[in-house]
Amino acid sequence: MTKKSEQEKGGISRRAFIGSSAAAGAATILPKGPAAAAQAAPSGGTPVSLPPTPQQMAREVGDARPPTTFRAAQRPGSDLIVQVLRDLEIEFVASNPGSSFEGLQESIINYGEIPNVMPEFISALHEESAVDMAHGYAKSEGKPICALIQGTIGLQHASMAIYQAYHGLAPMVILVGRDDKHFLQAHTADDVAGVVRSFTKWDAHPQTLEEALVAIQEAYRQAITPPCAPTVVILDTEVQKEEAGDLEIPPYRPPVIPTITAAQADEIASGLLAAKNPHIAVGRMRTPAGPKKAVELAELTGASVTTSATRMPMSFPQTHPLTGKGADSAHDYVLGLETSGAQASLNGPHLRTLDGRDLTGINFGGIRPPVRPSQNVPGENDLVADAEASLPLLVDAVKRRMNESKRETVSQRTVQHGKANRDARVVALRKALEKKREGWDASPISLARIYAELAPMIKDLDWCLPSPTIFSGRHHEELWDHDKPYSHFGGHPAAALGFGIGASTGAALAARDRNRIVINIQTDGDLNYTPGSLWTAAHHKLPMLTVMHNNRAWHMELMYVQYMTGVRGRGHDRAHIGTTLRDPFIDYAKMAEGYGMKSEGPIKDPNKLAAALARGIESVKNGEPYLIDVITQPR
């Protein structure tokens, strides 16, 4: 829409307002509503004097009391939006500012008794970072925060991260500002959410404030209902700025998540209790409540447990005495919780494709593809029910069937399993350590050494490792104890790079007020997509230790190109072109310093590593993020 047609319609453009208010001084009030519009300059741009306000009128007739403090907006719609977020206990809104949501932004930072808390406005330097932060937070806490995104262009920046979150089953509510009246047409689309619709679960474009409040609640509900995923609400700037009057916030109804039936719970409970050697396989549940209940079930039944805690969040504690094959690995009843099991397994609902559709196809547009295309296709004995929501039923069913003799059996089995699992763990660890010591004194530094040196330092701390570790050897799997729902997040869900730093920053947001620290083992290629999160961590004082896995390359691609030169029989010494980060090398300690983060390095001497890591941990414990550049072996 051009400036001219705005004026023809009687609107006041943003720029005209800024200009006229500068001319008229601070007292100028933006006229509102049809009456005010009728007063606006018809075409020539000459300001027309405004009618007296009620206050001025009162003074005119002799009421000389000083005017009450005047607020143009009495109860802005965006205050109610913030109240909805607060009621939903959304801790953070990660955002890069945009002029389609200054109304909402102003409410976040100013509304309420304690403004800018629940939610707190978190400054992201890139929309992709904002969404990665929401992803990292969701993986550690199992619940959403918001990303607040500038319409159209910001959403395009955000889109790859949203795609990754969709694959990662990460619940988040993405609020997108939209302004089609007073702003650039290029930032506005009729269907703003269209650009991400193929990889979001639900979206809405409410037309009124009341609809907007309901839409945000629904977006939240949809995001946390399995399969969890990102949802989108488009918020028109008018809706944010509208006077709310006496509009009340509609009540929020939590989702009803499908569980097994009481009869099924009874059947599984009797299976577990009748078995001589029951076993439970645990995958990824939704929230920290899932693993907690799984521990209760395992302890009640004395079942040995397989965990996925080294590969994904929200699984069973890795060093729980029941974790492992147990005293006897011939299990006669196996229960799967979000994983396939032999006798029964509870796998939450999944978005499905239409029949006959190619599961490997991406097919953007039209129908949303499944959240996880090729995994967790229910098997014969699978109950399509959410394991976490079903666990309380199962625990109760087991408790009801418990008697003295069963309790005795369980307690004996628990002791036997505990001893066997502990012994097996030590044997496996001894074997692993023999491998880890290889190249111990090498320079550049071995990746195993980074994880090994860190292990005793974080042993008694509450830590979270959000970064994908597939490129750095996954040495934490054997060396660190993954006992928390948020210990490790697994890989990049869509194998999309630029994820580690943002996800770690989001996890560090969750960690900040929970006395937890985040360890980010950061590959160099990955950092360079969105390094701005370093500033976010410094600015918000996030407890994040970043240890560079600096192999000065997109090393995976180097290996592929090297192989290809072999296939083609030429230029074997040229594979570094376009695959390495040399000439010049990037100085990550300086990069961090530039963003205001404490740092050191590059470290090449393996004997200097431990002291640097210790300094880093100390700093992070004091709420100061820290980066250590380590020149490493490639893999």
Partner 1 sequence: MTIMTKFFNRITMLVAGSVFIMGTVGAQVAFGPVTGDAKKGMQLYYDYGCYGCHGYNGIGRQNLANDVSGIMFNETVFLTYLRAREDQNPLFPTQSMPNYAAASLSDNDAKNIYAYIRTFRDEPPEVEDIPALKAILDAAENN
Give the residues lining the site for ligand TPP (CB under 6 A): 471, 495-498, 523-526, 551, 553-557
With contacts defined by CB under 8 A, name the span among 71-79, 225-233, 242-250, 573-581 that binds partner 1: 573-581
Q: Which of 250, 253, 251, 252 is nearest to 211 (CA)?
A: 250
Choose the contact partner of 526 out of Mg ion, partner 1, ligand TPP, none; CB within 5 to 8 A by kind.
Answer: ligand TPP
Q: Which of residues 518-577 bind Mg ion (CB under 5 A)?
A: 523-525, 551, 553, 555
Question: What amino acid occupies position 190?
Answer: D
Distance CA 213, CA 211 (A): 5
Nearest approach in angstroms of CB 573 to partner 1 is 4
Nearest approach in angstroms of CB 440 to partner 1 is 4
The answer to whether the beta carbons of residues 632 and 444 sit under 8 Å apart is: yes
Distance CA 254, CA 287 (A): 15
The reply on whether position 129 binds Mg ion by CB under 5 A is: no
Q: Which of residues 417-446 bind partner 1 (CB under 8 A)?
A: 422, 425-426, 429-430, 433-434, 436-444, 446
Q: Which of residues 385-424 bind partner 1 (CB under 8 A)?
A: 422
Cβ-based neighbours of 562, under 8 Å, separated by 6 or more: 572, 575
Interface residue with ligand HEC among 432, 556, 559, 610 (CB under 6 A) is: 559
Nearest approach in angstroms of CB 561 to partner 1 is 9
With contacts defined by CB under 8 A, name the span among 382-390, 454-462, 500-508, 540-548 that binds partner 1: 454-462
Which residue number, 337 or 497, has a Cβ lying nearer to ligand TPP?
497
Which residue is associated with the tokens 């948020």? 486
Phi and psi torsions of 233, nearest 5°: -125, 125
Phi and psi torsions of 59, nearest 5°: -65, -40
The answer to whether the beta carbons of residues 132 and 467 sit under 8 Å apart is: no
Which residue number, 404 or 573, has a Cβ lying nearer to partner 1?
573
With contacts defined by CB under 6 A, name the span among 68-76, 559-567, 591-599, 608-616 that binds ligand HEC: 559-567
Strand partners, 147: 94, 174
Interface residue with partner 1 among 560, 596, 611, 622 (CB under 8 A) is: 560
What's 409's DSSP letter?
H
| Burial letters 571-584, b for 16+ CB under 10 A, else e | eeeebeeebbbeee
The reply on whether position 571 binds ligand HEC by CB under 6 A is: no
Nearest approach in angstroms of CB 76 to Mg ion is 47
CB atoms within 10 A of CB 603: 24
Tokens representing residue 214 in the block = 């309901």
Where are the alpha helices (H) located in 353-512, listed in sequence order? 387-401, 404-436, 447-458, 476-479, 500-512
With contacts defined by CB under 6 A, name the span among 247-255, 301-309, 344-352, 557-565 that binds ligand HEC: 557-565
The reply on whether position 563 binds ligand HEC by CB under 6 A is: yes
Q: Which of residues 26-55 bind ligand HEC (CB under 6 A)?
A: none
Interface residue with ligand HEC among 372, 562, 586, 615 (CB under 6 A) is: 562
Choose the contact partner of 426 out of ligand TPP, partner 1, ligand HEC, none; CB within 5 to 8 A by kind.
Answer: partner 1
Question: What amino acid occupies position 615?
Answer: R
Residue with smallest beta-carbon separation from ligand HEC: 559
Distance CA 129, CA 200 (A): 17
Choose the contact partner of 439 out of partner 1, Mg ion, ligand HEC, none; CB within 5 to 8 A by kind.
Answer: partner 1
Which residue number, 70 or 563, has a Cβ lying nearer to ligand HEC?
563
Residue with smallest beta-carbon separation from ligand TPP: 525
With contacts defined by CB under 6 A, name the span among 152-160, 237-245, 365-373, 555-563 that binds ligand HEC: 555-563
DSSP string across 32-97: -HHHHHHHS--SS-PPPPPPPPHHHHHHHTT--SPPPPP-S-SSBHHHHHHHHHHHTT--EEEE--
Nearest approach in angstroms of CB 568 to ligand HEC is 14
Choose the contact partner of 453 out of partner 1, ligand TPP, ligand HEC, none; CB within 5 to 8 A by kind.
Answer: partner 1
Which residue is associated with the tokens 């380590």? 630
- How far is Cα of residue 199 from the mean position of the Cα atoms in its chain? 15
Nearest approach in angstroms of CB 573 to ligand HEC is 9
Write the secondary structure of 343-357 as one string of H (helix), E (strand) and C (coil): CEEEECCCCCCCCCC
The reply on whether position 545 binds partner 1 by CB under 8 A is: no
Write the secondary structure of 265-319 as one string of H (helix), E (strand) and C (coil): HHHHHHHHHHCCCEEEEECCCCCCHHHHHHHHHHHHHCCEEECCCCCCCCCCCCC
Which residue number, 282 or 553, has a Cβ lying nearer to partner 1?
553
Nearest approach in angstroms of CB 486 to ligand HEC is 34
Find the distance separating the first CA and the last CA of the chain, reported in whole Å: 54
Choose the contact partner of 382 out of ligand HEC, ligand TPP, Mg ion, none; CB within 5 to 8 A by kind.
Answer: none
The reply on whether position 566 binds partner 1 by CB under 8 A is: yes
Choose the contact partner of 141 out of ligand TPP, Mg ion, partner 1, none; CB within 5 to 8 A by kind.
Answer: none
What's 514's DSSP letter?
T
Nearest approach in angstroms of CB 567 to ligand HEC is 11
Nearest approach in angstroms of CB 337 to Mg ion is 36
Choose the contact partner of 65 out of Mg ion, ligand HEC, partner 1, none; CB within 5 to 8 A by kind.
Answer: none
The reply on whether position 353 binds ligand HEC by CB under 6 A is: no
Sign of CA dihedral 519, 523, 529, 531: positive
Phi and psi torsions of 463, nearest 5°: -125, 165
CA distances from 488 to 147, 289, 381, 465, 467 (A): 22, 16, 29, 5, 8
The reply on whether position 565 binds ligand HEC by CB under 6 A is: no
Q: Look at residue 321 and give its three-state secondary structure.
A: coil
The reply on whether position 577 binds ligand HEC by CB under 6 A is: no
The reply on whether position 633 binds Mg ion by CB under 5 A is: no
Choose the contact partner of 247 out of partner 1, ligand HEC, ligand TPP, none; CB within 5 to 8 A by kind.
Answer: none
Strand partners, 204: 233
Helix and strand counts by DSSP (H, E) for the chain = 22, 16
Q: Which of 168, 176, 238 is nearest to 207 (CA)?
A: 238
List of residues contacting partner 1 (CB under 8 A): 319, 422, 425-426, 429-430, 433-434, 436-444, 446, 449, 452-453, 455-456, 459, 479, 555-556, 558-560, 562-567, 569-573, 575-576, 610, 633-635
List of residues contacting Mg ion (CB under 5 A): 523-525, 551, 553, 555
List of residues contacting ligand HEC (CB under 6 A): 559, 562-563
